[in-house]
Structure 1
Amino acid sequence: MTWRENMSPSPTTTILLTLIALLNIYLVLASFQNNGMIRLREMPDDYFTVTLNAQISRDNTAITNSFTWPYVAAEPSANPSPKNLDRTLQQFENVLETSQQLENVLETSQKLQNLLEMGSEENRTVVLLVSDYRSGSSLLGEMFNQNDDVFYLFEPLLGVVGPRAQKRFLERLLSCNPLHWGFLRRSRQSGCGEFTEETPDYRNCLKNTNRTAECLKYGITVAKFIRLRGIESIQDFGILDKPNVFVVHSFRDPRGTINSRLSYDVVNYNGKKIPRDGLTEEIVGNIANSLCWRYYNDSVFGDSLPNKYTRVTYEDVCTDPETNIRHVYKMIGHEAPQRVLDWFAQHTHAHSISAKDDKMGLERNSALTAVRWKEELPREFICAIEKNCRQLMDYLQLEYTCSDNNM
């Protein structure tokens, strides 16, 4: 009998097929028993074997058990010869081996059951890390990506446009089956190891790995977004009705966010690319108004979601990573791993204080980077930002630097 399932089965199908396989094992082993004792039989010349192959194949990941034992229908000889005794002894050894193989199958079955239970929506924690462009979200996302128990998706909403498409994406994400997976090179748990360099082998691995199977291995799924319509839309989609879904709002002082955006030679504004030298106080003020309006709405709505939402700022994590990381993990009901805390201690106090050569880099002295806007932004730009972000700054009690705005 052979059981082979090449496609990823549903949990119900997997459990059913596993039970059928184990039932067949029991029926075969029962042929060796008589009144609760193992009955040794002479091995006839025309004996045959029964082989069970149990395999769930998930592309590169497979859990497999295969074994063979003799199934004998003949009655033992009345006067066993030495030759027959040798065969009987061999049968006994076969039965002992079969018992060990059965234990291995039962162990494999338990692993399958554990995998299915972990992969169910009810038993997995799903974290939606919501942020904005150049708000430090890549660094803050590492508080999950560096956790060995997390499957991390980096910007999976790239190309997912419109509320209906985003709703469908989030619904499928809960079962580790989204249509888009983002930049898997930024995920440590992609199934291909941590990315170090672009090679043909690495590209082939990413192409051929069953991502749903990899995602189901972990008890926590985290997706980082800068393209979500807003935190309120998650509530509108019904996603937050799930008890195991949480929102972490990755936030940055708007003056720091805009200073980071202005570090590029060209700035996107109303669908146009404006050279940095062509920026005016009015344009910077309009950029700030749009950014802070989203920040404010997300913050106010998020604060209305008890035990489902927390806000973590880039500045706070840079100055006191351990306290803020522990706070986030406490909200989602997990302990902050020491590996994550150690990673942040190393990467937020690196020697580099600038990201001029690598604006998407993660290793820098973030404590200094967090307040660099005070030295790099022209004062008129700072005042324009504060003027257009007054509602947000008052709500979050951010300190003003332009006295005429603090009124």
Structure 2
Amino acid sequence: SVKRLFGHNEHRSVCKKKGEVYKPENTIPTVKHRGGSIMLGLFCCRRDWCTSQNRWHQREKTLHGNTEATARKLQLSQSRIHIYLHATWRTGSSFLGELFNQHPDVFYLYEPMWHIWQALYPGDAGSLQGAVRDMLNALYRCDFSVLKLYAGTQNISTSFIFGWKMNKVICSEPLCDAHKRHEVGLVRQDLCAKCQKKDIRELEKECKKYPVMVIKGVRVLDLSTLVPLVKDPAINLQIVQLFRDPRAVHNSRLKSKQALVKESIQVKQNDKYKRLLVPNRVNRAESYVSSAMELICDNWLNDMFLVTNSPQWLKRNYIKIRYEDLVMRPMEELQRLYRFSNLSTNAALDKFALNMTHGQGYSSDRPFLISSRDAKEAIFAWRERLNIEQISQVEAFCSEVMRHLGYQKHSTDKKTLSPSLLAYFDL
């Protein structure tokens, strides 16, 4: 007969020969979703066996007698959590990622799929989605050998990882003495650069120590790419999707257009996107960056429809956040993010989030630099830098996305601003 053992993520079976006494050691543990408890199942095939009072007591005794010992032996008191920060370029995703990079219980990776896009350029973004998912699948298992596929003749070490000089794990003890992992604060890249390169296997060992792993990326075009990783019980991926006012995204992309040309060429996949946002095609860089913006709005809308019509197991593993809410109410949003990630906050992390949103100014000669910014200027810079025609074009193409996300159309009248923005900034 077959005994089926059911858990939140999967079920397993144990077989025994007819007439054989069921052995307690055959009990298989199943870890409950998001950790904390172990649920042991012992379900029989025959109805009369189950309903027998003596059999019931025997089963109950078996379960109670083995739960604690099994849990202690297998050290499964808490399951590992895997999170993907799903964003696109110029949405404030570096800041969002840094909130996880700073947490001492998080192993964080910044844009690892950059390696794929660089190695396979100019392959279009759509054709690279399978490779992106495969890389994520390996990385969440702390298998960094997947990076060798895109390293060419380079040796794989900690210094090969994209963004390694900003990574709190790589730049902290025991891999590097530039920082201590529990201390909160931006990594000193000049100090980290002096650290000795470590074999990638040492990074894998560190990766396996952390209860939460977070990867931030802008190269997953739509949520459907990630669904298999959500369904995989070994990963059970949780997704945080970051949105931002499309007009602010467009403004920031234009400002960083030279740095985004290659990515924009890869994102623009077909002739469906007729460069609506640049009717005069001012220059090559602006043309590609603007046409990619059209695709971004389309993908956002598709993601919203997918989540709205998705089953509960996907909705349970997904939250969305607006950049404006994150910088306006950093303490509240940080609590929500950490709660979703099964992380606890502390005074140092709260202070870090607050300081990062109350800096001086917004402009920077280095657009991808993580630094303290003025939240008000970050939100409203597009109002000063985009002309009326540019604003109208973005609103026309992204109108449905804006409506779903609660962004109102532009007007010189302050009445079009939401009450929360007016109150927060005393406008």
Same structural fold, with TM-score higher than 0.5 when normalized by the shorter chain? yes
Q: How far apart are residue 145 of structure 1 and its match?
A: 0.7
Count of residues paired in the alignment: 289
Q: Distance in 1 between matches of 2:89 and 2:285?
A: 20
1:146 pairs with 2:102: yes
1:342 pairs with 2:342: no
Q: 2:340 aligns with which of 322, 331, 337?
A: 331
Q: How does 1:348-387 map to 2 (within 5 A)?
A: 348-356=357-365, 359-387=368-396
1:301 pairs with 2:306: yes
Q: 2:398 aligns with which of 370, 389, 405?
A: 389
Q: Which residue of 1 aligns with 2:164?
A: 184
The answer to whether the Cα contact below 8 Å between 1:234 and 1:240 also exists between their aligned partners in 2 is no
1:178-211 Cα offsets, whole Å, 9 max, x none, are 3235322221112324442446973523456711
Q: How far apart are residue 255 of structure 1 and its match?
A: 0.8
Q: 1:252 aligns with which of 244, 254, 266?
A: 244
1:279-317 Cα offsets, whole Å, 9 max, x none, are 899978644321211122223324433221111121111
Give 1 or 2 for the bigger CA radius of gyration: 1
Q: Which 4+ stretches in 1 moved above 6 angstroms?
A: 279-285
Amino acid corresponding to residue 380 of structure 1 in structure 2: E
Amino acid corresponding to residue 243 of structure 2 in structure 1: F
The answer to whether the Cα contact below 8 Å between 2:85 and 2:242 also exists between their aligned partners in 1 is yes
Q: Which deviates more, 130-139 or 263-272? A: 263-272
The answer to whether the Cα contact below 8 Å between 1:302 and 1:310 also exists between their aligned partners in 2 is no
Amino acid corresponding to residue 167 of structure 2 in structure 1: S
Aligned residues: CA RMSD: 3.5
TM normalised by structure 2 equals: 0.59
Q: How far apart are residue 146 of structure 1 and its match?
A: 1.0
Shift of the 138–282 alpha-carbon distance from structure 1 to 2, 3 Å rule, reads: closer
The answer to whether the Cα contact below 8 Å between 1:318 and 1:348 also exists between their aligned partners in 2 is yes
Unaligned runs of at least 5 residues, structure 2:
1-70, 118-127, 148-160, 180-186, 269-277, 417-427
Q: Distance in 2 between matches of 1:358 and 1:280?
A: 16
Q: How far apart are residue 365 of structure 1 and its match?
A: 1.1
Q: Distance in 1 between matches of 2:134 and 2:290?
A: 35
The answer to whether the Cα contact below 8 Å between 2:257 and 2:286 also exists between their aligned partners in 1 is no
1:57-80 Cα offsets, whole Å, 9 max, x none, are xxxxxxxxxxxxxxxxxxxxxxxx
Q: Distance in 2 between matches of 1:381 and 1:280?
A: 16
1:321 pairs with 2:330: yes
1:6-48 Cα offsets, whole Å, 9 max, x none, are xxxxxxxxxxxxxxxxxxxxxxxxxxxxxxxxxxxxxxxxxxx
Greater share of strand:
1
Q: Distance in 2 between matches of 1:261 and 1:253?
A: 12
Amino acid corresponding to residue 225 of structure 1 in structure 2: G
Q: Distance in 1 between matches of 2:236 and 2:341?
A: 8
Q: Distance in 1 between matches of 2:381 and 2:319?
A: 25
1:157 pairs with 2:113: yes
1:292 pairs with 2:297: yes
Q: How does 1:68-79 map to 2 (within 5 A)?
A: none
Q: Distance in 2 between matches of 1:375 and 1:155?
A: 30
1:175 pairs with 2:145: no
The answer to whether the Cα contact below 8 Å between 2:330 and 2:354 also exists between their aligned partners in 1 is yes
Residue 337 of structure 2 aligns to a residue in which SS?
A: helix
1:43-102 Cα offsets, whole Å, 9 max, x none, are xxxxxxxxxxxxxxxxxxxxxxxxxxxxxxxxxxxxxxxxxxxxxxxxxxxxxxxxxxxx
Q: How far apart are residue 151 of structure 1 and its match?
A: 0.7
Unaligned runs of at least 5 residues, structure 1:
1-112
Q: Which residue of 1 aligns with 2:60?
A: none
Q: Distance in 2 between matches of 1:313 and 1:243?
A: 26
Shift of the 209–337 alpha-carbon distance from structure 1 to 2, 3 Å rule, reads: farther
Shift of the 356–184 alpha-carbon distance from structure 1 to 2, 3 Å rule, reads: closer
